[in-house]
Structure 1
Amino acid sequence: MAKNLLRFFQKNYIAFGLVVLFIALAFTFCMQFSEAKERQIKHIKKDRSIEIKQMQKKAFSFFDSGKFDSALFYFNKTQLLCVPKEDYPDEYVESLNYMVEILQRYGNYYEAETTLIKAFPYLEKTSNIKYAVNAYTFMGYNYMYTYDYEKALYYHKKALKKAVSTFRKSRILAEIAFVYMQQKKYQKAIDLLEPIVKYKIEDKITPSKTNYQRAAILYNLGLSYLRIGNHREAAFKCFKESQDLTFTLNDDYEFISNYYAFYLYYSKYYNPKLKKLNAEKAYYYAKKAKSAINETEMLANLIEADNAENSKKYWKVYIKKVDSLAISRKTAKNQFADIIYNSRKDRDENLELKTQKAERELELERQKNHNIILYISIVLVLSTLLFLFFRLSKKGKREKNEAIYISETRISKKLDAELANDLYHTINLIKKGNLEQSENKDQLLNNLENIYSKTRNISKENSFIITDENYISELKEMISGYKTNKVNILMQGFDAVRWNQIEKNKKIILYRVLQEVFLNMKKHSEATLVSTTFKIIEKNLIVTYADNGVGTANKNFILKNGLQNVENRIKTINGTITFDRNSDKGFRLSFTFPI
């Protein structure tokens, strides 16, 4: 589009002159408006401390009672009342931190990151270092939840540098150890947690938090011992001490992790009876704590630990829980989005009204001059736009017709190449007659099935691909279309990808590439199990495909199965693709491209 406009202006000097004139007039108008802004009546600063405290009090009340949607609404109202550049930076940053904690509870990590970034410029203006520590910690959580562990460590270490109290530092070290555990660096986690466990570090500000933190640290240390192996007694000791501390807390939510720990322990050190018992208790406390996410996860563990007959009963409950959880998460996200949107709208409207009131007198003085400039600008803009519209529309129609002709020619050639021969043989078969014979009848049906299949494939290859918010469902539907009674397809990491951040062209190419790969699997692979994994690492999307088909030992496999087209498509978006050419136990490829 930009190149077309440049070529157009090079050939049309009058249009170029009109655009330059419009820019000059618009610049003059903006300069006059800026002068008016500088001379406007200064807004009298208003004391909002009482209003902010009342709003924050409501927010804390709803947060403590578990009504997070209402809490989010009032925390958002609080931060909108603050003017952190001038005043109330403590209330502003604290409200944003609580908003982020609520958004993270419901998996809305994109909105959480956007919200938290607004607090960073004012961390040094706050009166207490805890606000900055909390902000860096929440950012660390956000990156950990989205599997960007290096950035998670970066922000946790920034929080560690800011922290003052020993208790707070020990807690941040435990968070860093937890990130190492997600990276499967269990020895690093143990090296951090063992020194902390040796001392009972107390929270002097909120003593009730002491046992909560120690129980969590013991749980993570025990889990690290369990994962690294050869620490059976040490792992059991940590889990037992963590559970003993939880009994003193009388907190149903904490019991979930205690019994889950012993479920893992008895899974590793084979004891089916105790494994099932602890899975049942973990599930019981998840239901009692009304934690939908944990209830679903613990139920899955119970299905794995119990016998086949009971597992069928639990499986039906599990399906209902998963569906209910997905609906509730979607509803919560929509509610939070509405709250934030409406609050922003209120803020924008209030700011607009204040600006209008402050500038009214100056606007009246300059109204005549502004109107004249505005009318001239409108006339010039409309004239220029109309001229460009008709010129570019004409050119666009011509290019569109050419593109349609090329596309129709290509499809026509493909139909001729792939269907003409089949149609010819089918027509000859019909002319010969004898269709009542079983052999001729079967051959006719096979020919018709082949013609239909090829026609359908050509239609799919040339169909329109939706790239808006419905792209995710379209892509899932396309992939699931290759799933049959004999072929099982697994997808991992699909929902963790921020699809709305990927360019339209790259979405189309990804769709076509996966379509080509699965079509190749259907035609040639003879696979019964297919796995597709999606990961985002350093702003690159990595897709890994693997199946248990015939393999790629044959060097001509890629060309024979049309996968050369896949490689060409990936290269057009600066991506790379890797084929496993030496596997005789299945087919595997992975490709990467920047998003």
Structure 2
Amino acid sequence: MQTETDSLGQLIKEIGVFAKKKDYQSAIIHSKKLLHKAQFASDSSYIINAYWRQGYYFKRMDQLDSAYFYFDKSYSMNLKLHDSIGAGDRLLDMANIQKSLGDYSGGMITATEGLKYLEGSNEIESITGLYQTISVCQKELGNYKESLRWNDKIFSLLNAHPTADITTENLSAITITRANILAALHSYNSSFGILDRIAQSTKGNNQIQYSRAICNMGHFKWLENKNNPESESLLLNSLKIRQELNTVSGLISSTIHLAEYYFETNKPLALTYAQKAFAYSKKLNNSVAILEALDLLLPLKKSLGQDVSEEAIYYSKVQNKLEKTKQAVRSIYAATKYDNDTLEKRNLMLLAQVANKEKQNIMALSATVISLILIVFVVFYKNQQKKKEQLEMAYKTELRLSKKLHDELGNDIFYLMTQVQKDPQEIVASEKVIILEGLNSIYKRIRDISKEYTAINTGENFGKEFLALLNSYSSPKTKIITKELTSDFWDKVSAEAKIEVYRVLQELLVNMKKHSQASMVAITCAKNNKQVVIKYVDNGVGFNATENYLGNGLTNVENRMNGINGNINFDSKQNEGVTATITFAI
């Protein structure tokens, strides 16, 4: 009797037959069938395999945005199953697509992300692939020294793992990349030495690598010296071999370099090679290569007085298509990176079937009853704790108010009274100024105390009051940086949460004014459908976060946030300011 797994395995064999025939369209159709069957069977390994196959076959058809999409689906499934090796391999596939589209910054970021999952493992081939992608992207971005550093990492890794299974083709590509980087750094002799060794070792047994080595050598010799007699013969010899092998990607490279070689000295011949490069690029359906060929073809035709309208229109179409593909790939990456919660439900593993339904129902019912009892207990306990905290907070508030009035205002008022009781003729002008300034200071502090203990309007004007609170702590010595929020920012926030957040920010600012010596404070507010995030940052003296830094004020702040099921996290070092991140659910 054939099992579901046998059926999936048979389907993979059928897909393999189509792939060998290069019938990728049929391979994709059957890969979709594989995905559907694997999802029905809740077989996560086959689900991942089906996604990967679709990515691979779409890539073979040069439909790179679709290829990236399915590689990304496979990557997401790897993450859910904690398969770090699979996740790293898929990120390598995705980074190489970005690199082939000319999105070198994006490719470098994706490859670096892949290293998080693979570095330290025994997947040496995949790690070298990621290093190689980063190195090539750095080179294309003009960061040649950084590119060489990543290339060095490859050889250090291979030296540390001499038995690693690296194909000759991959090793040759890595070595030629090194020669290209050295040439870009004008270390031509070192570059020629590498290419000459490759040419000598591959001349009789690997014509593809041999033709590549002498093509690059001819191009670099021309870059070093435009009159080098070897350049032309090397380039033409490479072209001849590639014509015999009929390697389209190699023919593109040869004809591009020959068009560049003859560009200044023989424009008609340069145009011939540029047109050939254009034709080969169209055959390969490689948008980046097409644009590179047209970048040579258009100025050559123009300088020879030929019409360029048709090629110019084609250039615009290809460029637009390439940019749309890049944008599609970037949007897929962004969705995976920053919005994993919205991944399609069909990507999740289907729940395993439980053989005994009756037993499952009993267990589920038992779990529900236990959960309800726990929920009732937790709610009751939380309510009791909240009442206790509210009583304690009210008592502490009374103590704080009494202390403020006595310690902060009583002594100053008594001092001013003694000054006023003097004979008016004995009070000099400077003392009058001191008395007036003292009265003004007392008035401001009374106003601040009133603001601290006055009821807060949580209605539609709350946003204005909140902003006014923040800005009220600005002074010539301390600049407060805030950003005005949209009118509906606080709409879905409860009145209780508004009050607690208002008091928390008030406490932070009072604490800043007393202790931090900060010259600048920045406060930002952000919101999504689930929560509000408020970030407070100052450049004051800070504190040692490893020590017990929570005084009464900051303890109250934590209690307030706990009361609305929120959090406040402090990050600080001595003399490096304070960062406080406040989060609470809407």
Q: Normalised by the size of structure 2, how large is the TM-score?
A: 0.50
TM-score by length of 1: 0.49
Q: Higher relative CO (CA 8 A, sep ≥ 6), structure 1 or 2?
A: 1
